[in-house]
Structure 1
């Protein structure tokens, strides 16, 4: 746990069930200081410092320490998370990253775009009846699930299994939510590990033109590029990178546009604004609300002594509304040209592998939805998860137009 807050340093209780990163006290703290203290350690509130620290090699993910912080010292979740690619540094990370980069090449994105468009159009057909729909179930989960399965070469008849498991993987960044979170995550990890083993064997027997087959070929080459255990972990991690945050970002976009219907109307008239709209939606209501790091060594940053092992949380949502980084930071505007990039994909060597794919999916979805449907309106109040980790409603009842 964190040491007590230093004198004159703001303190924000992120463990309070009522805490919200949109609360006035957060932005009062941001105006006062680039960081605040909390029950979990330092909260980095401003854009410049969050961007700097996400690139700082003196910080790391330390998956083992993260698990232990939440009381998990063994079991399926621990065995999946600790060896994950993001928890490696240096040569080991470069080796695994080189394999994963094959997933998200410009060529592969170009080949996927027509499929993404087609899927978005088909799913929009189901929303175009004037009725109430759970956008998460009817669109938000189904689009990235179909794309991820296409990317990996998962058979369509297996999509249903994946839908439940992949929707729960992002809970790994919300472990403070309690025992139900842990149980759901463990079930997802066990199911996906078993399916990854099946997929590996299937691609060994029947290779095809998909990412899983490419990775299996690297495993079979015998030159030590990747072990079977590493391959299983990479496939499960790819599921996470290609699905969970994107399905939340799609739902978050609908919430934002329900609050700004004029912006939706503008997008419907100018669908070429879709790319810019994606960046603004991710800035305003990111699906990754916070990103954690641990200090790997003692060091000084802007006059603050940070001791080895200190837990730091980059407060993405607050930083992406920092008026020092964004002109009219408190205004949602899909026509705005922003000079800095969203932080939710991280930065440096650990920049999210799925960032380009997520942008393509959300862009195609917004373009199709806005040109065919009227502005979304939320039928029932939205329930959000706690403020840490992946952010997005589990259920989102909407009407369009």
Structure 2
């Protein structure tokens, strides 16, 4: 077992001469991954600017399932001096910020709404949305994948999941853009607009819930109203929180990962052509591109008691980063990990969706969206290639290409 109970004789992780890494402002994921690879060859843990970073697959896998590693309260807020107030109260009440019994209760109530069978009903919508976006650029044979396709892709799908009328999609897009400012490094200046958007969404959800209570329909809001376990039901506050959480967790992640997956496949035209010929490889292509080029390098955790990890003592209260990007490229679990191969079957499951009690609730929906998008794009955008630089956003948070200009054969 790599992670054990406290072992006082073990060297403190901060005093053990571990390698250091700092990729916060890096916009080239390959340089950052090379830095992490060098550090992992020296030790399974490195010291980053925010705390120890777990780099080896086994310790990332185990820590993500260990109840002694909890989500830090307030996420990015506390590090910026915000530890109370209305925005703090809202962020700490989201399901992604919870642990313990209340987190378990909410996941138990809502998990049925996110099963593969539940999300399968969106397949037709997903296909229509991605085809509609490609229709706008296929005649020219060029586009920016980020601004023309990826940015507009998930919102209509999430709105369809929720049961939102098509005419209201733009409201949700605007609210979502504001919510993501709560997870940036300049929250204070954006707090008023974030809270205003959140209140507007609350009012919208209240109206939806009131309407659905009179007549339930085939959508997620109705599923959440139906959700019950031994007499336990969701409150209106919890319904509001879950809708906001879905927008936060399911929008920019899909946007950025789609762009990142297409970007790396542009660098491997043989893989793109193979995907076009064998669309049944799309699901593997999603897993492989998320392993090879994830848009989240790691997740934050706080250690609630002293633990020993890979021979080092991590003191209670330490903020750690479970670096899933480094773990995904651990040669101990993946042969030739720096190579992209959409036919790969031997590697252990990638860690990008997290693990344990915080495994991504929307993973089934994300896989469906990405699989359908890559299937359609590979078929309708043959011979795709970049026509300019595709720098990534800073890697310290949610990243991915900031722009991805491409050309391809027109008319498909």
TM-score of the alignment, normalized to the shorter chain, above 0.5:
yes
Contact conserved, 2:71 with 2:99, CA < 8 A, in 1? no
CA offset digits 1:223-243 (Å, max 9, x no partner): 552222222111111222332
Q: Which moved more, 1:139-148 or 1:67-76?
A: 67-76
| Mapped partners of 1:189, 1:332: distance in 2 | 40
Aligned to 2:361: 353
| Mapped partners of 2:384, 2:190: distance in 1 | 30
Aligned to 1:197: 206
Which runs of 5 or more residues in structure 2 are unaligned? Answer: 1-11
Alignment of 1:249-328 (within 5 A): 249-328=257-336
Aligned to 2:157: 147
- Partner secondary structure for residue 392 of structure 1: coil
Measured at CA, do residues 15 and 358 of structure 1 come closer, stay the same or move farther in structure 2, by a change above 3 Å? closer
Contact conserved, 2:269 with 2:384, CA < 8 A, in 1? yes
CA offset digits 1:311-370 (Å, max 9, x no partner): 111122222112112111010111111431121111011110111111111111111111
Is residue 2:6 matched to residue 1:6?
no
Measured at CA, do residues 386 and 188 of structure 1 come closer, stay the same or move farther in structure 2, by a change above 3 Å? farther
In the TM superposition, residue 22 of structure 1 has moved relative to its aligned partner by 3.2
Contact conserved, 1:141 with 1:163, CA < 8 A, in 2? no
Structure with bigger RCO (C-alpha 8 Å, 6+ apart):
2
| Mapped partners of 1:181, 1:396: distance in 2 | 27
Measured at CA, do residues 244 and 194 of structure 1 come closer, stay the same or move farther in structure 2, by a change above 3 Å? farther
Contact conserved, 1:21 with 1:318, CA < 8 A, in 2? no
CA offset digits 1:146-186 (Å, max 9, x no partner): 2111110111111011123324544544x336766767755
Alignment of 1:71-90 (within 5 A): 71-90=81-100
| Mapped partners of 1:256, 1:275: distance in 2 | 16
The TM-score with structure 1 as length reference comes to 0.90
Measured at CA, do residues 119 and 286 of structure 1 come closer, stay the same or move farther in structure 2, by a change above 3 Å? same
The TM-score with structure 2 as length reference comes to 0.87
In the TM superposition, residue 298 of structure 1 has moved relative to its aligned partner by 1.7
Is residue 2:372 matched to residue 1:372?
no
Contact conserved, 1:170 with 1:245, CA < 8 A, in 2? no
Aligned to 2:114: 104
Which runs of 5 or more residues in structure 1 are unaligned? Answer: none
Measured at CA, do residues 7 and 299 of structure 1 come closer, stay the same or move farther in structure 2, by a change above 3 Å? closer
Alignment of 1:1-400 (within 5 A): 5-16=14-25, 22-23=31-32, 24-64=34-74, 67-167=77-177, 169-173=179-183, 175-176=184-185, 188-218=197-227, 223-400=231-408
Measured at CA, do residues 281 and 147 of structure 1 come closer, stay the same or move farther in structure 2, by a change above 3 Å? same
Measured at CA, do residues 194 and 380 of structure 1 come closer, stay the same or move farther in structure 2, by a change above 3 Å? farther
In the TM superposition, residue 97 of structure 1 has moved relative to its aligned partner by 0.5
| Mapped partners of 1:137, 1:275: distance in 2 | 24
CA offset digits 1:177-217 (Å, max 9, x no partner): 67667677556544433433343334335532211122234
- Partner secondary structure for residue 324 of structure 1: coil
| Mapped partners of 1:195, 1:252: distance in 2 | 32
Measured at CA, do residues 168 and 44 of structure 1 come closer, stay the same or move farther in structure 2, by a change above 3 Å? farther
Aligned to 2:8: none
Contact conserved, 1:169 with 1:244, CA < 8 A, in 2? no
In the TM superposition, residue 4 of structure 1 has moved relative to its aligned partner by 9.4
Contact conserved, 1:290 with 1:390, CA < 8 A, in 2? no
Q: Which moved more, 1:308-317 or 1:178-187?
A: 178-187
Q: Which moved more, 1:208-217 or 1:163-172?
A: 163-172
| Mapped partners of 2:132, 2:125: distance in 1 | 11
Contact conserved, 1:76 with 1:190, CA < 8 A, in 2? no
| Mapped partners of 1:334, 1:202: distance in 2 | 45
| Mapped partners of 1:306, 1:36: distance in 2 | 12
Contact conserved, 1:268 with 1:370, CA < 8 A, in 2? yes
